[in-house]
A and B are shown apart, each in its own frame.
Chain A
Amino acid sequence: MKNSNVEVNVHHVTRVEGHGNISVNIKDGIVEKCEWSIPEAPRFFEAMVVGRSWYELHHITSRICGICSIGHTLASLKATESALGVTISEQDLKLRKLALHGENMQSHVLHLGFLVLPDLMGVGSVIPLASTNPAEVKIVLKLHRIANEMSNLICGRTTHPQRLIPGGFSKIPSMNELTTLRKKLQDSIPNLQTVAGLFKSLESKLPNFKRETEFIALTDPNEYALYDGKLGSTDTASAPVKEYLSYTNEYIVPQSTAKWAKHARGSYMVGALARFNLNHDRLSPMAKKTAATFNLSPVCYNPFMNSIAQLVELVHSWEDSIRLINELEDKGLTTQSEYNKPEIKVKAGTGVGAVEVPRGILFHDYTYNANGVCTRANCVIPTNQNHANIQLDMNALVPQIADKPQKEIELTLEMLVRAYDPCISCSTHVTKIN
């Protein structure tokens, strides 16, 4: 790699949500610059919600991100409900878990099929694949449609949900609608297997790169934690969610309008791979089989395998949704009044809500005054927690590939960023640090 001079400037990285840049400078084989930066326009959500009422916070913070709007809504509702001492019914809990599965499935299909697949097939987008591989693209679109139909049915809309409100749901689906959905989920399992097979055939295109790091995700002894759990880490013991600030430790770096985070070491990773590494033994049977096909086993330190962990989770959410609908059917669905508005007694309080969204653990933390008006808010976003890890991965990866042709370096670095499935709009919601 002597005498090699390479300059990589990817301005902005494509096929990711939001704006991020990669700048690498290699002179005489020595890496002079290697930077992952975020120029996205900041949006100040935490200031925007101050002065707003408890029944509006989930509606506003949903707008932090279109792709994980259901996750933001749920984290927001959990924070508000915790602050106001509100509990939800078993049935609503199951329906919320279905809502989260719906978003996970939609987002993972979108990432795998639209954003990752083109790299593995050597094209610039999914558009040419529509003519070269119409059967595969149609299957991806079909899975995406079913996931969206599920979100639509449970939440009243696929993006920026309506039915999810403090204390429960304004409207719930009928059992008939749920069993129709279940049939669609069951009937499409062969399509899921086709997609898994497609990725298996392209597995060799995923770079073989390893860097030891810490993984953080919610964890629960009884289930593959998504809606609820304790804070889990591959480096330390678990802790209650309300102690999240001692995990996230956000800080500011000059090249980024998004904040960075670190816990037990220089950086940590959140997302599908973190969840898999911490909770793999609680995956659904079919998901475990899928992981085995790819020899994916914990602790996997290859960030490029995050996409495969998403595939495994896609299968898990699909299978677990069928299980949840079965449970709702066995219990019998309790109906509720039209335009349901759960009775909530407003009081002063602080609450933290955490959920696992497609890209990792998400925290919303609010304080309300006695009138239920928000006086302070903090949201910690998965992608922020990953920025430092992306940078450290790049630092480790660039010297390993510095002798490759410029195009290949560029593509490998873009693939690295894409593997994290970053959601940059989300991560520049910031306003406030203490």
Chain B
Amino acid sequence: MKPKAAFFDFAGCEGDQLQIANLEEDLLALLSQVDVVSFREVMKEHSDNYDIAFVEGSCTRLQDEDRLRQIRKNAKIVVAIGSCAAIGGINSLKNYKDLDGVKKTVYGENARLFDSYAARAIDAVIPVDAYVYGCPIDREDFLQVVKSLLLGKKPDTPTYPVCVECKKNENVCAFERGQYCVGPVTRAGCNSCCVNEGTICWGCRGLVDNPNENSHKEVLIKYGQTVDDAINKFRLYFGWQEAKR
């Protein structure tokens, strides 16, 4: 029997589920291997009977925790897809703001009805079995993770920084071009896609395991960048991870 899969979304842009629709012909191949029983964005049917749950988006309010726990209870395997679910992502930018103040400006006296707390990765609420990083996720990367899971293997996640891939692609280093880049401390696996397209690494895949902080400080000093520059850039995607550290 084919394993049953379900897709869920929390606070996010649904860009990762879009990447799954973007699999196009490969999507048909995927559908021959798994039965999709719930995917609100593309299907009307829903079932709570599933083996693998793919979760997109960060948890940003108390009321979403129950929904996450229920998903955990129903699923044998929970996969966090995309930066928001896997590392907290860009939503954690709001964690640096005065939330009560922000909410009151938006909703006035009714602010308490719209609860919201610091954005967090879903593993802050439930145990997660596998991660697909990136903002958005890479379609190939997603397929690789799904293949591993279907074969009962642990997905292979790079534990080195984006710089490794960027060097292999023979890019001119962003620091050499006078720009600040978080590639030295960001988890690889994207094939340095943003630098290849002429920009910088923004850090969307999150901090690499054991980032080499001392060497990063040396890079900052060498290129005349300040710690403030670094902190500012780290906040874009690392907010929740940094708060955890």
Interface set of A (CB-CB < 8 Å, partner B): 12, 14-19, 41-44, 47-48, 50, 56, 59-60, 63-67, 69, 110, 114-115, 118, 124-127, 130, 137-138, 141-142, 144-145, 148, 156-160, 162-163, 165, 169-171, 252, 254, 257, 338-341, 425-426, 430-433
Q: Can you list 27 contacts pairing A with B, beta carbon distance less than 8 Å?
A: A14-B41, A14-B46, A41-B57, A41-B116, A42-B106, A44-B102, A60-B93, A63-B13, A63-B90, A65-B15, A66-B14, A66-B16, A66-B17, A110-B21, A124-B45, A125-B39, A125-B45, A126-B42, A127-B42, A144-B21, A162-B193, A170-B197, A338-B172, A338-B198, A339-B198, A425-B12, A433-B105
In the complex where A48-B94, A48-B97, A339-B172 touch, is A162 in contact with B198 (Cβ < 8 A)?
A: yes
Most A CB contacts (10 A, CB to CB) among B57, B91, B193, B196 go to B91
Whether B126 is near chain A, meaning CB under 8 Å from some CB there, is no
Please report the number of residue pairs spanning A and B whose Cβ atoms sit closer than 8 angstroms.
170
* Cβ B90 vs Cβ A60 within 8 A: yes
Q: Does B214 contact A (CB under 8 A)?
A: no
Supposing A60-B236, A433-B105 touch, asked if A14 and B43 sit within 8 A by C-beta, the answer is yes
A88-B42 Cα distance, complex, nearest whole Å:
38
| A171-B197 CB under 8 A given contacts A125-B42, A338-B172 | yes
4 nearest A-B residue pairs (beta carbon): A66-B15, A170-B198, A125-B43, A156-B197
Q: For the complex, what is the distance from the CA of A14 to the CA of B45, rounded to whole Å?
A: 8
CA distance A292 to B46 in the complex (A): 39
Residues of B within 8 A of A69 (CB): 13, 15
Whether B197 and A44, one on each chain, are in contact in the complex, defined by CB atoms closer than 8 angstroms, is no
Query: How would residues 17 to 28 of chain B score, 1 for a CB under 8 Å from any chain A CB and 0 otherwise?
Result: 111011011011
Given known contacts A48-B93, A158-B22, what 10 new A-B pairs fall within 8 Å (CB)? A15-B42, A44-B116, A65-B15, A124-B44, A141-B24, A144-B22, A159-B136, A160-B136, A162-B198, A339-B198
0/1 interface trace, chain B 117-143, chain A, CB 8 Å (1 if under): 000000000000000000110000000
Q: Which residues of the other chain, B, contact A50 by a CB distance below 8 angstroms?
A: 97
Q: Is the CB of A145 within 8 A of B15?
A: no
Q: Does B36 contact A (CB under 8 A)?
A: yes
Q: If A41-B11, A159-B15 touch, does A14 touch B193 (CB 8 Å cutoff)?
A: no
B13 and A433 form a contact (CB under 8 A): no
A157 to B202, CA, bound (A): 15
> Which residue of B24, B25, B28, B135 is within 8 Å of A63 (Cβ)?
B135
Contact of A44 among B12, B14, B94 (CB under 8 A): B94
Q: Roughly how many angstroms separate A125 CA and B15 CA in the complex, as a whole number?
A: 19
Given contacts A67-B15, A425-B12, contact A145 B25 (CB under 8 A): yes
Kindly list chain B residues whose C-beta atoms are within 8 Å of the C-beta of A144.
21-22, 24
| B167–chain A nearest beta-carbon distance, Å | 15
- B interface residues, Cβ below 8 angstroms from A: 10-19, 21-22, 24-25, 27-28, 31, 36, 39-46, 57, 60-61, 64, 89-91, 93-94, 97, 102, 105-108, 110, 113-114, 116, 135-136, 172, 177, 179, 193-194, 196-199, 202, 236
Contact A130 B40 (CB under 8 A): no
Which residues of chain A are near B135, meaning CB under 8 Å? 63, 160
Min C-beta distance of B226 to chain A, whole Å? 14
Contact between A157 and B102, CB atoms less than 8 A apart: no
B60 in contact with A130 (CB, 8 Å): no
The answer to whether A431 and B114 touch across the interface, beta carbons within 8 angstroms, is no
User: For residue B27, which residue of chain A has the nearest CB?
Assistant: A141
The answer to whether B15 touches A17, judged by C-beta atoms less than 8 angstroms apart, is no
Residues of A with C-beta under 8 A to B107: 252
Inter-chain contact A130/B28, CB cutoff 8 Å: yes
* Contact, CB under 8 Å: B197 / A47: no
Residue among A14, A118, A145, A426 with the highest chain B CB neighbour number at 10 A: A14
Q: Which residues of B contact A14 (CB under 8 A)?
A: 40-44, 46
The reply to whether A430 and B42 form a contact with Cβ atoms under 8 Å apart is no
The residue among A43, A118, A430 with the most chain B CB atoms within 10 A of its own CB is: A43
Beta-carbon contact of A42 and B45 below 8 Å: no
